[in-house]
Amino acid sequence: MVILLLALLAAVCPVLALPTIEAKGSKLFTSDGAQFYLKGIAYQLTPDDPLADTSQCKLDSALMKTLGANSIRVYHVEPQLDHDGCMSAFSDAGIYAWIDLGSYTGKNTPLYGGNPQWTKSKYQAYQKVMDTFHDYDNVAGFFVGNEMLTTGPDSKAAPFYKAAARDMKAYRDKKSYRKIPIGYSAADITALRPNLQNYMACGSNSSEALDFYSLNAYSWCGDSSYEQSGYNMLQLNASDYNIPIFMSETGCNLVKPRNFDDQSALFGPDMADSWSGSVVYEWIEETNNYGIVSYGAPADPTATGDGVYEGYTRTGTPTPISPDFENLSSQWATLSPKGVSADAYTPTISPPACPAFTSGMWEMSGNVPLPTIGAKGTDYTTALPSASADGSGTSTSASSAASSTRASSIAVSRRNMESFWPKVGKWTREHPAAWYGLVVAGFFIMGVVVV
């Protein structure tokens, strides 16, 4: 009888294959108390949901385990599909999923087409994703947006993302789901740094702040260094940050092969106390040349058929691309920061001050009221104060703020252009060598003119 009861319990109660992930202070921890660092890979084989093909997930997760990955970042899922097989496959490989709540195409994100909005339909779309994935123990976190704020004037849309996080946290808690961390993935834009980062965590009401913040940064290229890449400045901005921060994309490909030396900095003594790891871009090789695996030789760009998209086969057995795959695996194999146990850690860092108004760079002042569900465009943004009125910030000038910014590397310049003009950015990704040549030629011409 006892054996029968145990068998029935096993059938109806899911086994906790992996400890869950939670945010505490400025760090991430597993439910068994160990500090967690992401060793992640961006995983989006096609614009379709990559977590709905069990056979493919089993093949990919097995090789990711060999790589040393413990996380994947997924940009688009379709909540109506069955994800049990894929989530189980990744769980068996010790891999967590960090999932965007919005659509890969941007249709369900709070900022779309340049018009900030947080509507009921978008809120409901986010709910469907959370409802579908909350019960998987290896869901580590949700993103409310990715790289949607790319200029100083875009800062007026930041409250929409913060509102999305607030409302999704409230929905999570109302439904008694576990406290899966909710955050935002930001483009590394000089004009917005560190104002956006600080804004997403500022304020005395923790229910309105993000659970984590992440950055897509491509400034460490080839044989760069902690100082040359600007990672020292990223660390300076993160050293007193009160919520977890990690790289949600990294892996500059302007210099081939990639050596992934930035991982030594992120997981080493310079940054590991402040940063919670990184996600390398990306798993599959395609036109942009960021992949570390392929599924066969490139196909004709006009070819269509099973598993072929935009000239690349995207199904089947993944094959490591040498030496990039081995280089990343070797880096991660030697990098295992011990961190601190959850029981021994008491958060002491206070939220940052909400950024002050800076014309052309940060066009809000202090801790502005967040929009409610249904808010759209200028109905909200035109009501924002342009200078401090509540004592929470002090207006500054763009010239004084600009004097404190550092010179960006060629890689950051390319990423910033990508954010300003998506079509130009797509070309730079697909033709990195040509882009590099144009930048170098530009500097040469500028030098000639100056002389």
- Which pLDDT score is estimated for 54? 98
Please give the residue that has the higher pLDDT: either 164 or 422.
164
109-157, pLDDT tens digit by residue? 666 656 788 999 999 999 999 999 999 999 999 999 999 899 998 998 9
Which position among 22, 78, 208, 249 bears the catalytic label? 249
- Which pLDDT score is estimated for 441? 53
List the single range of 93-97, 124-128, 340-344, 401-405 with lowest mean pLDDT: 401-405
- Taking the mean position of all CA atoms in its chain, how far away is CA 13? 32
- Which pLDDT score is estimated for 386? 54
Which of 112-116, 221-225, 365-369, 433-437 has the largest mean confidence? Answer: 221-225
The Cα-based distances of 309 to 74, 284, 287, 297, 305 in angstroms read: 18, 12, 11, 13, 8
Please give the residue that has the higher pLDDT: either 325 or 386.
325
Confidence band of 438 (pLDDT split at 50, 70, 90) = low
- Which pLDDT score is estimated for 5? 44
Q: Is the pLDDT of residue 399 over 70?
A: no
Confidence band of 300 (pLDDT split at 50, 70, 90) = confident
- Which pLDDT score is estimated for 381? 64
Confidence band of 302 (pLDDT split at 50, 70, 90) = confident
- Which pLDDT score is estimated for 307? 85
> Hey, which bits of 149-264 come out as E strands?
182-187, 212-216, 245-250
Which amino acid appears at position 107 of this protein? K
- Which pLDDT score is estimated for 450? 40
Contact 123, 94 (CB under 8 A): no
Q: Is the pLDDT of residue 395 over 50?
A: no
> Where in the chain are the domains?
2-333
Confidence band of 357 (pLDDT split at 50, 70, 90) = very high
Helix (H, G, I), strand (E, B) or coil at 119: coil
161-211, pLDDT tens digit by residue? 999 999 999 999 999 999 999 999 999 999 999 999 999 999 999 999 999
Q: DSSP per residue over 352-421, as a string?
A: PPPPPPBTTTB---SSPPPPPTTEEHHHHHTTS-SS-SSSS---B-HHHHHTTPPPPPHHHHHHHHHHH-
Residue written as token pair 């850690």: 345
Please give the residue that has the higher pLDDT: either 405 or 1.
1
Among candidate residues 427, 48, 13, 408, the one with its CA nearest the CA of residue 217: 408
The Cα-based distances of 158 to 8, 212, 324 in angstroms read: 49, 15, 36
- Which pLDDT score is estimated for 268? 98
- Which pLDDT score is estimated for 295? 95
Q: Is the pLDDT of residue 276 over 80?
A: yes
Confidence band of 444 (pLDDT split at 50, 70, 90) = very low
Mark whether 363 is an active-site residue. Answer: no
CATH number of this structure's domain 2-333? 3.20.20.80
Q: Is the pLDDT of residue 436 over 60?
A: no
Total-model pTM: 0.84
Among candidate residues 130, 176, 137, 135, the one with its CA nearest the CA of residue 19: 137
Q: Is the pLDDT of residue 239 over 90?
A: yes
List the single range of 32-36, 93-97, 235-239, 385-389 with lowest mean pLDDT: 385-389
Please give the residue that has the higher pLDDT: either 423 or 311.
311
- Which pLDDT score is estimated for 110? 67
- Which region holds residue 128: left if phi is over 0, alpha if psi is between -120 and 50, else beta? alpha
41-92, pLDDT tens digit by residue? 999 999 999 999 999 999 999 999 999 999 999 999 999 999 999 999 999 9
> Hey, which bits of 59-165 come out as E strands?
71-74, 96-100, 111-112, 115-118, 139-146
Please give the residue that has the higher pLDDT: either 272 or 399.
272
Confidence band of 397 (pLDDT split at 50, 70, 90) = very low
- Which pLDDT score is estimated for 299? 84
Mean pLDDT of 23-43: 98
Q: Is the pLDDT of residue 10 over 90?
A: no
Confidence band of 378 (pLDDT split at 50, 70, 90) = low
Q: Is the pLDDT of residue 425 over 60?
A: no
- Which pLDDT score is estimated for 17? 76
Pairs from 344-351 (Cβ < 8 Å, separation ≥ 24)? 345/24, 345/25, 345/27, 345/29, 345/35, 346/25, 347/24, 347/25, 347/26, 347/242, 348/25, 349/25, 349/26, 349/240, 349/241, 349/242, 350/242, 351/201, 351/202, 351/203, 351/204, 351/206, 351/209, 351/242
Which amino acid appears at position 38 of this protein? L
- The 3-class SS string of 340-359 reads CCCCCCCCCCCCCCCCCCEC
Q: Is the pLDDT of residue 415 over 50?
A: no
Which position among 147, 285, 286, 418 bears the catalytic label? 147
- Which pLDDT score is estimated for 434? 53
Mark whether 310 is an active-site residue. Answer: no
- Which pLDDT score is estimated for 84? 98
Q: What's the CA gap between 369 and 425, in Å, rounded?
A: 34
Nearest 10 degrees: Cα torsion 117, 156, 274, 203: -90
> How does the average pLDDT of the chain come out, rounded?
84
